[in-house]
Chain A
């Protein structure tokens, strides 16, 4: 399973890339592979204020629906509009083109509750 080095991860398999005070959020290779062909993505409204680990989006595949939780607290400043017509971008490129939401981070210290790529890699191995 591909894991991106400079990203942080949750136990629910969301990833976050932090650029200054902006967090870019998506789901990991493990999550997209487990879900299979993604057919619908529900994203939050821009402006929504959100707490760390609060549910803020959902993803549907042919098989099932899955809730997505926000890795950091903040305010939604942008969503990936391309996903409404091409939800399979998440299957094809979950770490770049398949990003879901950008958040203005309200509390960067929340980061301590996330896993580093090395920790996430170990977590994935423990699931096998």
Chain B
């Protein structure tokens, strides 16, 4: 019997152990941080192809009309004109405008949807969906029957085309139901790395088979460590860092994923914020040296005032410099301005820069 605090394992846990992965707790799951090493896995993804276990992520199915089911009210993004076979990124908010989660909505059929959420937040997301979705039997949490692999890198299409057909023409943020190892699976042209890549949703218990097939074709296994560096070079938000229940999507710079022409939970609060102006905003910055900003470092203006906090930071192998994202008080930091991040005495000089940090990603190729 598992205790409530026991960490959950993905269907690939034993594969990770067999590959000698460094396993760490992440959002309630035992996940691989790295196998060969973060930089090697980063390089495989940017130059070749790598596979990530993302089975910890949650998946919900909703059957029914967009409005009647309540789905439309749950998501900030416009979904009414989403084509069958396409997906869209958006946010799930509380009434007060804080972010419960970021998610991707897939339109599987005219009146059938799949929602993909973060692993750590899956339970509270599910509770929110259950409160709002009108016909309870039309909401199914399939998180524990659905495994997920991310195959990412410029050679991901070539690799998958060796055993999957009918996905090759997919454009960014579209998907197809394909036959994968004898079973129907969703192959989605999405990812979190900035490279050409796919996410495959697959039956939980058969996920090791798919994982080993992909490794046997030459993909390198990659862990959370490289995944974080890759997403941060793209300037993508990570739940619990750039967005959480106390950060609004406007503060986080996600306004383009919010449709003010429709109704959604939290809209009144966001409209008010939009009118009055956000108190904070997210900035991206690059270190002038190889020193890396770290999550939790304070941000100081050039005259030494404390103006905010670093939400994510790492070393960027592409830039060979430290990079980071952070929330600063409104009006405090302007483009190209030199500011400082640090803790205690040692601080790092950084320059504010537009996102993404990495501009050569193949994700739209």
Contact = CB atoms under 8 A, between A and B. Distances in A.
Interface of A: 36-37, 39-40, 42, 60-65, 87
Contact of A87 (B37, B38, B290): B290
B130 interface: no
B258 interface: no
Given A39-B315, A40-B315, A62 B39 contact: yes
A36 B38 contact: yes
B39 A37 contact: yes
Given A39-B315, A40-B315, A60 B291 contact: yes
Contacts of A64: 294
Interface in B84-121: none
26 contacts: A36-B34, A36-B37, A36-B38, A37-B37, A37-B38, A37-B39, A39-B315, A40-B289, A40-B290, A40-B315, A40-B322, A42-B291, A60-B290, A60-B291, A60-B315, A61-B315, A62-B38, A62-B39, A62-B225, A62-B229, A62-B292, A62-B314, A62-B315, A63-B38, A65-B294, A87-B290
A36 B292 contact: no
Interface string B282-303: 0000000111101000000000
A79 to B, nearest CB: 16
Interface string B27-56: 000000010011100000000000000000
A43 to B, nearest CB: 13
A47 to B, nearest CB: 20
A65 B291 CA distance: 9
Nearest to A64: B294
Contacts of B38: 36-37, 62-63
Interface string B313-344: 01101000010000000000000000000000
B363 to A, nearest CB: 22
B291 A63 contact: no
Given A37-B37, A40-B322, A63-B225, 7 more contacts: A40-B289, A40-B291, A40-B292, A60-B292, A60-B315, A62-B292, A63-B38
Contacts of B315: 39-40, 60-62
B321 to A, nearest CB: 9
A81 to B, nearest CB: 14
B294 to A, nearest CB: 7
Contacts of B39: 37, 62
Nearest 7 interchain pairs by C-beta: A39-B315, A40-B290, A37-B39, A62-B38, A62-B315, A40-B291, A37-B38
Contacts of A42: 291
Nearest to B33: A63
* Residue of B37, B315, B322 most packed against chain A (CB within 10 A): B315
A115 B295 CA distance: 35
A94 B315 CA distance: 21
Given A62-B39, A62-B314, A36 B290 contact: no
A69 to B, nearest CB: 16
Contacts of A39: 290, 292, 315
A39 B317 CA distance: 9
Contacts of A87: 290
Nearest to A40: B290
Contacts of A63: 38, 225
Contacts of A61: 315
A65 B292 CA distance: 9
Contacts of B317: 62
Contacts of B291: 40, 42, 60
A65 B225 CA distance: 15
Contacts of B322: 40
A36 B290 CA distance: 16
A120 B66 CA distance: 64
A62 B225 CA distance: 8
A36 B223 CA distance: 13
B50 to A, nearest CB: 15
A84 B204 CA distance: 46
B225 A36 contact: yes
Nearest to A87: B290
Contacts of A40: 289-292, 315, 322
A87 B292 CA distance: 14
B173 to A, nearest CB: 29
Contacts of A36: 34, 37-38, 225
Contacts of A65: 292, 294
A64 B314 CA distance: 8
Nearest to A41: B290
